Structure 1
Amino acid sequence: MRVGILDLLGPPARRPVEVAYQLFITKQYASITPQAISVWCRRQGHETFYATYYGLGRPHRLLPADLDVVFISCYTQVSHLAYALAKLYHRAGVRTVIGGPHAKAFPVDCLRFFDLVVRECDPELVADILSGQFDPGTVISAGRPFDDVPAVEERMPEIRASAFFWGRKPLLLSAVPMLASMGCPYQCDFCIDWNSTYRLLPADRLKADLRYLARHLPGRLIVFHDPNFAVKFDQVFEMLEAQPPGQRPPYIIESSLTVLRGDRPRRLKETNCVMVAPGVESWTDYSNKAGVGRTGGTAKVDRVAAHFAQLAENVPYLQANFMFGLDTDQGDEPVELTKRFMDLAPFAFPTINIPVPFGGTPLHDELTADGRILATMPFNFYYAPYLVTTIKNYDPITYYEKLIELYSHAASPAMLRRRLQSTANRIIGYVHRARTAGFRSDVTSFRRILGMLRSDPQFLAFHEGRTTTLPEFYRRISERMLGHYAELLTPADRTPDLSPAGSPPHPGTEKP
């Protein structure tokens, strides 16, 4: 069979500055599961075509038109692009399958456009799909997430296609995606991995991948896609430390401060870790991830900042992940505490996320029960700077005012100077400048939305949940986001179906 695999990484670029970002940064976001599916199909003898779309060009031209089956993976932000492509492939008689984070979160909505929706997969399920074992209009799932992560050597055709330029030459930012583990032991209510079982993947595979990279791609950056890297720290680091010091590739991880305690930051340095992105999330909640017990408020800020300072002595680049707008946030305190952290740890670049109610999470279920999800807001607004829920303790105007205060502090000239003074690394200096410029652009977007909330009663009524009529502002942006594909989706197509998929599926099929 002729099988296509398309990994949608971002929406179409609309401005020159976005073109550069998509080309050099978004291009490196390729997911591991689509690459694994490509390998599994190739193992079965099928003619396989794999591509990633990172916002440049037209994605339907990345694969042949005469496919038998197409697998599409996407995030919720670009799901409408996936839906439009599904319509094109249906016209050509191609069987369509969707997987990835969006399919896991909103499988019922996906069924409006795709023949099959996959929540979890493994090689056996992919083989059953290709042999026609499932009827169209079905949500399907493997019994558990796959453990067979194909080796880097076997994924090299996909890695070249996704990370290298023109499929041939790696550049400075070209990265190799890898996994050392799957799942997460924490149960953060906003995360799609909240109920996943943590498990370490086979150590022999990690060792083999590191040896292969040392021989064939020395010095190439590794990005570990583990939801929480090295929870079983010693077992993972025995593999990393087994590499001779001169052959240890640079790598990036997401982890929790609880994991990175004691002398472990030193071991990060010794194994060539170049970036860590711990999730702090909130100053009043999720303290188990921060390793501060029941401590909250100013005391938590000070302890977390001290921990980041220890990490900064060993890791060149740090990112601190926050949520603002959780039900535990109220008043000025969350803003002031986050600004205090920025001042204490200018070397850690903050990301401040707006809560997004992804399906299948406790957050989604709670907000649905309370009627706090803006049900007609299209999925392509499920990311900052847009707000798709009503916030418990802030009205929309106050919420955006405080977002502007946070982002303005993070993007101030004084803060940028302090970041630049904290590093002698020229590349990191460029990253700080670029990300600070991005924050300033976000402030402009926030101010635009705030202006409409203040001046347009219907716009405010929508964000307060008093009307379900989608403002024209969002309809126009949705059109621009889809670009050439806008005509393929009607207004009804863009209105999400948030119906629950029911209980977790059993192996095989699940009828929603």
Structure 2
Amino acid sequence: MRVGILDLLGPPARRPVELGYQLLITKQYASITPQAISVWCRRMGHETFYATYYGLGRPHRLVPADLDVVFISCYTQVSHLAYALAKLYRKAGVRTVIGGPHAKAFPADCLRFFDLVVRECDEALVADILAGQFDPGAVISSEKPFDDVPAVEERMPEIRASAFFRGRTPTPLTAVPMLASMGCPYRCDFCIDWSSTYRPLSIERLEADLRYLATHLPGRLVVFHDPNFAVKFDQVFEALEAQPPGERPPYIIESSLTVLRGDRPRRLKDTNCAMVAPGVESWTDYSNKAGVGRAGGMAKVERVAAHFAQLADNVPYLQANFMFGLDTDEGDAPVELTKRFMDLAPFAFPTINIPVPFGGTPLHDELAADGRILPTMPFSFYYAPYVVTTIKNYDPVTYYDKLIELYGHAASPEMLRRRLRTAPSRVVRWVHRARTAGFRADLGSFRRIRTLLRSDPGFLAFHEGRTTALPEFYRHLGDRMLGDYSELLSAADRTPDLSSIRL
């Protein structure tokens, strides 16, 4: 069979500044599961076509039109692009299959456009799909996510296609995606991994992959896609430390502060960790991930900042992940505490996320039961700077006022100067400048939305949940996001089906 695998990493680039970012950065976000599917199909003897789309060109031209089956993976922000492509492939007689975060979160909506929706998959399930074991209109899943990730050596055709220049030459930014574990032991109500079971993967496979990289791709960045890296810390780090010091690749991880305690930051340094992105989330909640016990408020700020300072002595680049707009957020305190953290830890670049109710999470179920999800907001806007729910303790204008205050502090000239003074290298200084510029662009988006909330009664009514009439602002912007594919999706196609499907 002729099988296509298309990994959608980002929407079409619309501005010159986006072109460079998507070419240099988004291109490196390739997911592991689509690469695994490509390997499995090749093992089965099928003619396999794998490609990633990172916002440049026309994605339907990346794989042939005369396929038997096409697998498309995407996250929710780019789901409308996936839907448009599904229409094109179905018209050509291709069987269409969708997987990835969006399919897991909103399978009912995906069924409107795809023949099959996959929640979790493994090699056996892919073989059954290709053998025609499932009728169109089915939501299917393996019993658990796959545990046997194909080795880096076996994934090299996919890594070349996704991360090399013209598929032939690695670049200084070439990144290799890897997994050391699946699942997460924490139960954060907003996370699609909230109900997953933490499972370490084969240490022997990890060691073999590291040896292969040392020989064939020395010095290339490894990005671990683990939801929570090295919960079994000693087991994982013994494998990293087994590599000779001069052959340890730089690597990026997301992990909890509770994992990175004691002398473990030093082991990060010894194994060439380039970046850590712990989730702080909130100053009043999720403290079990931060390792501060019952501490909250300023006490939590000071303890977390001190922990980040210890990490900064051992890791070149740090990112601190926050959420603002949770039901526990109220008044000025969340903003003031986050600003205080920025002042205490300028070396940690903050990301400030707006809560998004992804399907299948307790957050989604709670907000849906309370009628607080904006029912006609297209999935294209399920990411910052857009709000797709009503915020419990802030009216829309006040909420955007607070976001502008947070981003304004993070992107201020003084904060940038402090970051640059603490940066350990020229590369980190360049990243700080680039990300600060991105924050300033986000500020412009926040201010445009706030202006509309203040000046357009219909726009305000929509965000207060008093009307379901989608504002023209979002209709027009949705067309721009889809670019040449906008005519393939009607207004009804873009109105989400938020109903749940339980397997």
Question: For residue 287 of structure 1, what is the aligned residue in structure 2?
Answer: 287
Distance (whole Å) between structure 1 residues aligned to residue 133 and residue 238 of structure 2: 42
Question: For residue 510 of structure 1, what is the aligned residue in structure 2?
Answer: none
Distance (whole Å) between structure 2 residues aligned to residue 246 and residue 471 of structure 1: 57
Question: For residue 126 of structure 1, what is the aligned residue in structure 2?
Answer: 126
Distance (whole Å) between structure 2 residues aligned to residue 165 and residue 490 of structure 1: 36
Question: Given residue 381 of structure 2, which amino acid in structure 1 is its aligned partner?
Answer: F
For the pair 1:275 / 2:275, whether they are aligned, the reply is yes
The Cα offsets for residues 24-55 of structure 1, whole Å up to 9 and x where unpaired, read as: 00000000000000000000000000000000
Secondary structure of residue in 2 paired with 1:363: helix
**Does the CA contact (< 8 Å) of 2:78 and 2:380 recur in 1?**
yes
Question: For residue 435 of structure 1, what is the aligned residue in structure 2?
Answer: 435
Secondary structure of residue in 1 paired with 2:403: helix
Question: For residue 465 of structure 1, what is the aligned residue in structure 2?
Answer: 465
Distance (whole Å) between structure 2 residues aligned to residue 370 and residue 414 of structure 1: 42
Question: For residue 322 of structure 2, what is the aligned residue in structure 1?
Answer: 322
TM-fit CA distance, 1:148: 1.1
Question: Given residue 402 of structure 1, which amino acid in structure 2 is its aligned partner?
Answer: K
Secondary structure of residue in 2 paired with 1:184: coil
User: Which consecutive unaligned segments of at least 5 residues does structure 2 have?
Assistant: none
Distance (whole Å) between structure 2 residues aligned to residue 423 and residue 75 of structure 1: 32
Distance (whole Å) between structure 1 residues aligned to residue 387 and residue 472 of structure 2: 16
TM-fit CA distance, 1:172: 1.0
Question: For residue 15 of structure 1, what is the aligned residue in structure 2?
Answer: 15
TM-fit CA distance, 1:136: 0.1
Question: For residue 374 of structure 2, what is the aligned residue in structure 1?
Answer: 374
Distance (whole Å) between structure 1 residues aligned to residue 454 and residue 402 of structure 2: 15
Question: Given residue 206 of structure 2, which amino acid in structure 1 is its aligned partner?
Answer: L
TM-fit CA distance, 1:423: 1.4
For the pair 1:98 / 2:98, whether they are aligned, the reply is yes
Question: Given residue 243 of structure 1, which amino acid in structure 2 is its aligned partner?
Answer: Q
Distance (whole Å) between structure 2 residues aligned to residue 439 and residue 420 of structure 1: 16
Distance (whole Å) between structure 2 residues aligned to residue 443 and residue 480 of structure 1: 20
Distance (whole Å) between structure 1 residues aligned to residue 205 and residue 187 of structure 2: 28
Distance (whole Å) between structure 1 residues aligned to residue 229 and residue 68 of structure 2: 37
Equivalence map 1:404-423=2 (5 Å): 404-423=404-423
Distance (whole Å) between structure 1 residues aligned to residue 326 and residue 169 of structure 2: 44
Distance (whole Å) between structure 2 residues aligned to residue 12 and residue 400 of structure 1: 26
Distance (whole Å) between structure 1 residues aligned to residue 241 and residue 430 of structure 2: 30
Distance (whole Å) between structure 1 residues aligned to residue 173 and residue 397 of structure 2: 39
Question: Given residue 57 of structure 2, which amino acid in structure 1 is its aligned partner?
Answer: G
Equivalence map 1:108-507=2 (5 Å): 108-502=108-502, 505=503
The Cα offsets for residues 247-302 of structure 1, whole Å up to 9 and x where unpaired, read as: 10000000000000000000000000010000000000000000000000000000
Distance (whole Å) between structure 1 residues aligned to residue 227 and residue 424 of structure 2: 30
The Cα offsets for residues 405-457 of structure 1, whole Å up to 9 and x where unpaired, read as: 00000000000000000014001101000000000000000000000000000
The Cα offsets for residues 145-199 of structure 1, whole Å up to 9 and x where unpaired, read as: 0001000000000000001110011111110000000000000000000000000
Secondary structure of residue in 1 paired with 2:231: coil
The Cα offsets for residues 445-470 of structure 1, whole Å up to 9 and x where unpaired, read as: 00000000000000000000000000
The Cα offsets for residues 200-249 of structure 1, whole Å up to 9 and x where unpaired, read as: 00111000000000010111100000000000000000100000101100
Question: For residue 43 of structure 1, what is the aligned residue in structure 2?
Answer: 43
The Cα offsets for residues 449-494 of structure 1, whole Å up to 9 and x where unpaired, read as: 0000000000000000000000000000000000000000000000
TM-score of the two chains, using structure 1 as the length reference: 0.98
Question: Given residue 239 of structure 2, which amino acid in structure 1 is its aligned partner?
Answer: M
Residue correspondences, number:
503
Question: Given residue 230 of structure 1, which amino acid in structure 2 is its aligned partner?
Answer: A
**Does the CA contact (< 8 Å) of 2:316 and 2:424 recur in 1?**
no
Distance (whole Å) between structure 2 residues aligned to residue 124 and residue 388 of structure 1: 37
Question: For residue 508 of structure 1, what is the aligned residue in structure 2?
Answer: none
Moved over 3 A (4+): none
TM-fit CA distance, 1:323: 0.1
User: Which consecutive unaligned segments of at least 5 residues does structure 1 have?
Assistant: 506-512
Distance (whole Å) between structure 2 residues aligned to residue 423 and residue 289 of structure 1: 26
Distance (whole Å) between structure 1 residues aligned to residue 168 and residue 223 of structure 2: 19
Question: For residue 509 of structure 1, what is the aligned residue in structure 2?
Answer: none
Question: Given residue 71 of structure 1, which amino acid in structure 2 is its aligned partner?
Answer: F
Secondary structure of residue in 2 paired with 1:307: helix
Distance (whole Å) between structure 1 residues aligned to residue 398 and residue 489 of structure 2: 34
The Cα offsets for residues 322-364 of structure 1, whole Å up to 9 and x where unpaired, read as: 0000000000000000000000000000000000000000000
Question: Given residue 498 of structure 1, which amino acid in structure 2 is its aligned partner?
Answer: L
**Does the CA contact (< 8 Å) of 2:298 and 2:337 recur in 1?**
yes
Distance (whole Å) between structure 1 residues aligned to residue 423 and residue 395 of structure 2: 39
TM-fit CA distance, 1:315: 0.1
Question: Given residue 388 of structure 1, which amino acid in structure 2 is its aligned partner?
Answer: V
Question: For residue 2 of structure 1, what is the aligned residue in structure 2?
Answer: 2
Distance (whole Å) between structure 2 residues aligned to residue 231 and residue 331 of structure 1: 35
TM-fit CA distance, 1:4: 0.1
Distance (whole Å) between structure 2 residues aligned to residue 271 and residue 452 of structure 1: 49
TM-score of the two chains, using structure 2 as the length reference: 1.00
Question: For residue 31 of structure 1, what is the aligned residue in structure 2?
Answer: 31
Distance (whole Å) between structure 2 residues aligned to residue 500 and residue 421 of structure 1: 50
Question: Given residue 320 of structure 1, which amino acid in structure 2 is its aligned partner?
Answer: A
Secondary structure of residue in 1 paired with 2:186: coil
